[in-house]
Amino acid sequence: MAIAWLAVLKSVPWSEVISNAPKVADGAMKLWNAVARKSPLPEASDTSTQPVVSLESQPLAALEARTVTLEAAVSDLHGQMLASSELIKDLADQNAQLIQRIETNRLRLLWLSAATAVMAIAALLGLFLAL
Angle of CA points 107, 113, 118, to nearest 5° = 130
pLDDT tens, residue order, the chain (131 aa): 567 767 766 777 777 777 777 777 777 777 777 777 776 655 545 555 455 455 667 888 889 999 999 999 998 888 888 888 888 888 888 888 888 888 899 899 999 999 999 999 999 999 999 98
Q: Tell if the pTM clears 0.75, that is, is over it.
A: no
